[in-house]
Amino acid sequence: MINAKITVPEVKVSLSNTSTSTCLEGIELEGFGKLPDLPCDKQSSPSDSFSLNRPSEELLQSQSVDFMVQASISESHDTPRRTFLKHSVSSLVDMCNAKDKKLKILNQRLRRHKKNNRFFEKDFFFSTILFLDVVNTLKAKLLINQEQAHLLDSNFGKHKDLINNFVNKNTRKKLPKRYSMQLRKFAVTLNFYSPKAYTFVRREFNSVLPSPRTLSKWYTNVDAEPGFTKEALNTLTLACKNCPY
């Protein structure tokens, strides 16, 4: 066994001196020799200091769950009351895990819905611009000719009912139970001139027009007796008014 005696010289320091300098000069250990001299003006380096940060909520929660899992493990020497409490803790841990899983799934759904809404708003904006002039769109796609485009535009204007139905359907608002008379006339006329153009409008603009089966039901109410019908005379009258010569 080695006996060592530490000799520390008397140090007099003023209370007003708040310096953090270190001085080991004059300190000796008997039996071990003199300590190496260090300069008295050496300041403490930043690496000598440290800070304590508050742990995050997720870390605290995970540690709490781990502690609960460990506490719920039954042992052979447990009393009946302790065993009952551990079973209760185990049930609470299972409930927490189930709720965490459900919360994760709901957050994933929320992120997907937000992402889909961004794409929907972008597509809806461009579709609305395109839908503001249905006739020109059909003419650009070569689905109707110039004469048919002029006839549709002169009779149905800016398609107010079509635009309203399109906006309401895409914004998930309530639609009217019955199609307006103006919309019915436009649908029947467009399908008569070009079924391909009618299918294009239904496909591109979220089915704002009635289905072809609905149109066939409307046709059954048209007078189709032999001879000149009222509908045929109205069509001829309209064609004469729009004739440039």
Mean pLDDT of all residues belonging to the chain: 67
pTM of the shown model: 0.33
Helix 181-193 × helix 146-156 angle, to 10°: 170
d(CA 209, CA 162): 8
What mean pLDDT comes out for the span 206-224? 74
Q: Is the pLDDT of residue 130 over 70?
A: no
Q: Which residue has the higher pLDDT, 204 or 158?
A: 204
Torsion of CA 183, 188, 190, 195, to 10 degrees: 130
**98 vs 87, 88, 95, CA distance in Å?**
17, 15, 5
Q: How confident is the model at residue 110 (pLDDT cuts 50, 70, 90)?
A: confident
**What is the pLDDT, as a whole number, of residue 126?**
46
d(CA 188, CA 181): 11
What mean pLDDT comes out for the span 194-210? 77
Amino acid (one-letter) located at 223: D
Q: Which residue has the tokens 């007796």?
A: 225
Nearest alpha-carbon partner for 201 in 154, 157, 159: 159
Q: Which residue has the tokens 């447990």?
A: 78
**What is the pLDDT, as a whole number, of residue 100?**
86
d(CA 32, CA 28): 8
**60 vs 64, 202, 211, CA distance in Å?**
6, 56, 59
Q: How confident is the model at residue 50 (pLDDT cuts 50, 70, 90)?
A: very low
Q: Which of 34-38, 115-119, 165-169 tops mean pLDDT?
A: 115-119
d(CA 27, CA 79): 60
**What is the pLDDT, as a whole number, of residue 97?**
83
d(CA 192, CA 39): 103
Angle at 99 between CA 94 and CA 102, to 5 degrees: 130
Amino acid (one-letter) located at 85: L
Q: Which residue has the higher pLDDT, 207 or 99?
A: 99
